């Protein structure tokens, strides 16, 4: 907010969605509640409500079908009191129109043939993976004198603007980059992380640089941070969990 908006809180969903870590639905919810903007949200709860009421049978794992549901959500927005409407949808999905044993959608029972619990529809997990991309990368967790080397992600893309461990294209590339380093590197358990459009496999390599060696390796642009400083920065959830659970 400081870099993009001079320290002022953005007052539109479009501006909010450009901030790191805020997606389209969250941005719309903030804008609706704080500024009364006529913007649609589509979190998990609202998807259940709308697909059941509308009898929406398409597979939401497909981007084109999710786009259709977004259009339907926008078309249903009231002309006024968007905040009340949005809160109502969220509460219905969270307390009444549940994923299991729903007590909602009686009026839509004809459309859904008495099976609201089957909506929203998505392909089985094994079939959905066939439609998703996959990435396989390595992360370097370098420690020296009680500090970790962190890099900031680009302003756009995955984990935009967040601080994380240096990323390498593969385990082989990272192994080559660390060949001949003093000290000892240890491969940690693999991290499996599912994002919207692909499944991400991350291989963390922990390396403690020996205190006696003052000549540090060439590293991507970044900064040293103590564990306390690192936790205060914006870290992606998988990286935060790694640093918090594996730190000695």
pLDDT value for 108: 47
What pLDDT shows up at residue 130? 44
pLDDT value of residue 247: 56
Residue for token digits 């918090």?
Answer: 244
Tell me the CATH class for 132-246.
alpha beta
Q: Nearest CA to 58 among 49, 50, 69?
A: 69
CB 144 within 8 A of CB 209: yes
Handedness of CA 121, 125, 127, 130 (dihedral sign): positive
Helices (H), 59-204: 63-75, 82-91, 109-112, 125-131, 171-177
The pLDDT value recorded for residue 123 is 46
pLDDT of residue 80: 92
Digit-by-digit pLDDT tens for the chain (248 residues) are 887 888 899 999 999 988 877 889 999 999 999 999 999 999 888 998 998 888 888 888 788 888 999 999 999 999 999 999 999 999 998 888 887 777 775 544 444 555 555 556 554 554 444 455 788 999 999 999 999 999 999 888 888 889 999 999 999 999 999 998 998 899 999 999 887 778 899 999 999 998 877 678 889 999 999 999 998 888 998 999 898 876 54
Q: Which helix (H) or strand (E) covers residue 206, if one does?
A: strand 198-208
CA distances in angstroms from 207 to 72, 167, 239, listed in the order given = 51, 14, 15
Question: Whole-model pTM above 0.75?
Answer: no
User: Pairing between strand 133-144 and 198-208?
Assistant: parallel
Fold agreement (2-123, 132-246): no
Written out in words, the top-level CATH class of the domain with range 2-123 is mainly alpha
Alpha-carbon distance of 41 to 35, in angstroms, equals 14
Residue 126: the pLDDT is 47
Q: Fill in the DSSP letter of residue 169.
A: S
State the pLDDT at residue 248: 46
8 Å CB contact between 12 and 31? yes
Residues 6 or more apart whose CB falls under 8 angstroms from that of 116 comprise 52, 97, 102, 104, 105, 108, 109
Map out the domains of the chain as residue ranges. 2-123, 132-246
Instruction: Go through the chain and tell me how many residues it has.
Output: 248
Q: What is the pLDDT of residue 105?
A: 59
């Amino acid at each position: 907010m400081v870099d993009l908006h001079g320290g002022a809180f953005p007052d539109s969903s479009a501006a909010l969605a450009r901030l790191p870590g805020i997606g389209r639905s969250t941005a719309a919810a903030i804008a609706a509640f704080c500024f009364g903007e006529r913007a649609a949200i589509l979190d998990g709860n609202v998807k259940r409500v709308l697909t059941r009421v509308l009898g929406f049978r398409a597979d939401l794992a497909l981007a084109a079908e999710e786009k259709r549901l977004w259009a339907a959500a926008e078309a249903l927005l009231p002309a006024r009191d968007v905040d009340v409407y949005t809160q109502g949808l969220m509460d219905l999905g969270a307390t009444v129109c549940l994923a299991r044993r729903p007590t909602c959608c009686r009026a839509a029972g004809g459309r859904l043939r008495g099976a609201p619990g089957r909506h929203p529809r998505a392909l089985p997990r094994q079939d959905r993976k066939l439609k998703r991309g996959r990435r396989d990368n390595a992360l370097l967790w370098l420690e020296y004198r009680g500090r970790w080397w962190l890099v900031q992600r680009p302003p756009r893309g995955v984990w935009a603007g967040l601080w994380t461990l240096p990323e390498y294209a593969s385990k082989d590339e990272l192994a080559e980059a660390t060949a001949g380093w003093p000290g000892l590197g240890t491969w940690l358990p693999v991290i499996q992380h599912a994002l919207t459009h692909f499944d991400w496999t991350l291989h963390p390599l922990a390396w403690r640089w020996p205190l006696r060696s003052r000549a540090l390796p060439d590293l991507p642009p970044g900064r040293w941070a103590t564990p306390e400083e690192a936790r205060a920065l914006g870290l992606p959830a998988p990286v935060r969990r790694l640093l918090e659970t594996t730190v000695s």
